[in-house]
Structure 1
């Protein structure tokens, strides 16, 4: 009962080289470098999209006004207070759809600024929020 079974050798021409023999050892390095470059690129794009924003705006509150208007109060903090900025605020109706929008010029000045503005709406507004802020101030809002 001590008979050992031998594994028959595979024909080289039919199945290719044996698993341990690599014809091109440089391909491992090439794919490793490509994977590293792609990973660094993805990390850079994620940093640009999810990193800290240069302008932080937070809604403090809102109040409904007569004639389909709503007032929003917000705090704006910029990483460069010496530059003018613009924030877009919007009113929303009961369905959540945007029913009014307004751009606010934030003039250069100190750290955190508290601002208030009134947004006119096409229907009855139920809330107001901040759509976004940017240093790209349109020419028609510029004071210079």
Structure 2
């Protein structure tokens, strides 16, 4: 019961956290439901992060839309190398641009040529001559893309 002087017969509730002593240093353990909730939240976060990582990895390193691979080369002299290569593309109706280059004995790039592969077949074999600034020992395909620059586009 309450009286007019503010004194109550009911005991006062204890403060939730003691200010000193072992209970202040070592808090009361979480309930089973609280631990389960954090475990589920952490598990869902790990699964979502794994899915995002898998998606990004597939987009970055998965099967490319266009790929080019050198299959051979002929050194034509001290200023040229001929490169034979194949280009594979998923959509044969799309033109492709490839960068073919010659490299010297020390690994330096000594010649480069951009080549337009017009729309046509899924797999195309090509041969390109790359003129070099000094003798080349190898010819290779640096890369291919379906994003053909405007200066390689044929006149319409």
TM-score bracket for the superposition, by shorter chain length: 0.7 to 0.9
In the TM superposition, what is the alpha-carbon distance from 1:35 to its structure 2 partner? 1.5
Counterpart in 1 of 2:43? 32
1:53-72 correspondence runs (5 A): 53-72=64-83
Whole-angstrom distance in 1 between the partners of 2:136 and 2:83: 12
- For structure 1, list consecutive stretches of 5 or more residues without a partner in the other structure: 1-10
If the length of structure 1 is used for normalisation, what is the TM-score?
0.83
Counterpart in 1 of 2:10? none
If the length of structure 2 is used for normalisation, what is the TM-score?
0.77
- The total of aligned residue pairs comes to 133
Name which one, 1 or 2, has greater alpha-carbon Rg.
Answer: 2
Is the 2:78–2:134 contact (alpha carbons within 8 Å) kept by the matching residues of 1?
A: no
- RMSD value, Cα: 1.8
Whole-angstrom distance in 1 between the partners of 2:139 and 2:106: 13
Whole-angstrom distance in 1 between the partners of 2:103 and 2:119: 29
Is the 2:82–2:130 contact (alpha carbons within 8 Å) kept by the matching residues of 1?
A: yes
Runs ≥4 in structure 1, deviation > 6 angstroms? none
- Secondary structure of the 1:87 match is strand
Whole-angstrom distance in 2 between the partners of 1:126 and 1:119: 12
In the TM superposition, what is the alpha-carbon distance from 1:55 to its structure 2 partner? 1.6
